[in-house]
Structure 1
């Protein structure tokens, strides 16, 4: 008798017990997730620093970069002056060489005339040597030189000594300049590393947090409540104030002294340059670029130096405000004079 049992069905892929377990697990996970409140958009993982901590670290890096920038500016200023001295020294060497050549040509003409007359006097031949000192040291031969020949020889001797001195000075200055340029490269790298570290930290902030950080008043916004109060101490101070206000909104760039962008001391130096006054390049040197006055007696045009190391400077414009170039990403703007510890106030 034939069997009537139905043939056993082979399970299809995905329909066995492992698949059923997977489906049940996923369902359980989904139900559990529905019971857990979802994290707000933009929330940071538990191990990521808060916005306040990140901003504090960014500010510290900017402060360190500013210190390094002012050191760079100081070395750059010295290098610029030394570069000018090197150029002058090299011009002096060229002039000295030309003078030696003229004197030697003059003595050569004398030798030529003697040769055409029947031979060169040994004393003239000696005068044409590269070391006339050795000839002059031989007193026994001096009576064989005419006074005119002796004068030419002494002039050549003096010109050669002067030329060697100029060459030595030019060589020393070139060596100093090379050392300063290497220092500039190291300091430039230091600034760039600190600014790059600050940028990496800023990238960890959300767009809203970055906007909050940069929500300081712009020059346009501050203009309505514009600075007022005491009058500038002089017409030139007034001109410097007008110049610094004209730079409101221009970007910060380390090592820049205008007119398109500025760092802190570059801005104040540029503003006073527009007023016809030359002040040093760095904030440290600007602290000594005039008369010290108490903060309570500050007048528009005075330089406000910040921090004990004098690593930042702004220009007081009245009304309890300064105009300054704050840091990368922040344009030239107004800020309260007490935005950071004041070291001194200088009136150029």
Structure 2
């Protein structure tokens, strides 16, 4: 019995070896190992990704500005619509009064008050009537004048409403164009990042951190913080507290919280929490808010980055700022000099 089993096992082994050795049998090759990118190649990838996200940031600013203006124009249209309704009701009332006076004249035989007065033979009645005629004439002129002014106002309101509607439609088109551009740039950046191996993504992040550290060190070594020691205002403290409380929340373009933010969404909401409404976009914040020198910077001030003012963060003191960096990153603390500074603005100056 044991011999039979041994023979069967031997036969099975021989058959297996025969199958393995048979010609024409195909086996899958192991997955080829992709050689890691060189340092230079990865730096080029980093530069390309940064450029795409910068373009997305600029397009986000354009989107946010179009949205802000659309909100204002919509509010203005609503306001004008209410004025148009009020004006139309006023005109209807004035027309009724004019119609009542016309009907009164008709009931008096169609004769104007002056003619009726001349036919009166009572001197006292004539004198009283003359006074009433003058008052009536002035009232009629006032009524017609008010009707004309109200009609003119109504035409002006209608014209303004039409203009705002046209601007709103133009803004909608700009907003849609900006939205497409944002998605295009972010998608391109994400496709490049998707080609990276895990180890390459880690190296890429390390490169970003090293570059930021190098820029921050150079900024500090330049003496930029020498003499800086201004204390935050009470509003500034509130703004800083709000902004730093958002650390860890993701960057999402066009977002103003509470769960996610873009760069100017974070700064505008922080100052709104402090009781100061400021423009929505980084470019408008740079254009419209009072500017201060870097040497006079204090916590709560906003630091604007790059020549096109496409990024913004909030100074929190000790050479640091809080910001929402870009898609794929979270709100975080970074060196205030880790990117090229365009200037500093102070919302509560």
User: Under a length normalisation based on structure 2, what TM-score does the superposition of the two structures give?
Assistant: 0.72
3-state secondary structure, aligned to 2:334 = strand
Q: 2:8 maps to which residue?
A: none
Q: 1:303 maps to which residue?
A: 302
Q: 2:119 maps to which residue?
A: none
Matched, 1:292 2:283: no
What is the deviation of 1:318?
A: 1.6
Preserved contact between residue 259 and residue 270 of structure 1 (Cα < 8 Å): no
Change (3 A) 1:156 1:319: same
Whole-angstrom CA distance in 1 between matches of 2:111 and 2:188: 77
Matched, 1:155 2:154: no
User: Under a length normalisation based on structure 1, what TM-score does the superposition of the two structures give?
Assistant: 0.72
Change (3 A) 1:299 1:162: closer
3-state secondary structure, aligned to 2:298 = coil
What is the deviation of 1:271?
A: 0.8
Gaps of at least 5 residues in structure 1 are 1-21, 124-142, 218-228
Moved more, 322-331 or 311-320: 311-320
Preserved contact between residue 306 and residue 340 of structure 1 (Cα < 8 Å): yes
Preserved contact between residue 313 and residue 322 of structure 2 (Cα < 8 Å): yes
Whole-angstrom CA distance in 1 between matches of 2:37 and 2:271: 49
Whole-angstrom CA distance in 2 between matches of 1:198 and 1:120: 84
Q: 1:9 maps to which residue?
A: none
Preserved contact between residue 61 and residue 194 of structure 1 (Cα < 8 Å): yes
Q: 1:3 maps to which residue?
A: none
Q: 1:85 maps to which residue?
A: 76
Q: 2:88 maps to which residue?
A: 97
3-state secondary structure, aligned to 1:287 = helix
Alignment of 1:109-120 (within 5 A): 109-114=100-105, 117=107
Preserved contact between residue 283 and residue 313 of structure 1 (Cα < 8 Å): yes
Alignment of 1:23-172 (within 5 A): 23=23, 41-43=33-35, 50-114=41-105, 117=107, 146-172=137-163
What is the deviation of 1:209?
A: 3.0
Preserved contact between residue 269 and residue 279 of structure 1 (Cα < 8 Å): yes
Gaps of at least 5 residues in structure 2 are 1-21, 114-133, 210-227
Q: 1:254 maps to which residue?
A: 253
Moved more, 231-240 or 256-265: 231-240
Matched, 1:206 2:197: yes
Change (3 A) 1:242 1:257: same
Change (3 A) 1:112 1:200: same
The CA RMSD over aligned residues, in Å, is 3.3
Preserved contact between residue 315 and residue 322 of structure 1 (Cα < 8 Å): yes
Whole-angstrom CA distance in 1 between matches of 2:192 and 2:150: 63
1:187 to 160, 170, 178: 178
Whole-angstrom CA distance in 2 between matches of 1:209 and 1:232: 42
3-state secondary structure, aligned to 1:248 = coil
What is the deviation of 1:212?
A: 4.8
Q: 2:326 maps to which residue?
A: 327
1:288-344: CA deviation from partner (whole Å, max 9, x where unpaired)? 4123112x4432212111111111111111222111000011010011112211111
3-state secondary structure, aligned to 2:47 = helix
Q: 1:265 maps to which residue?
A: 264
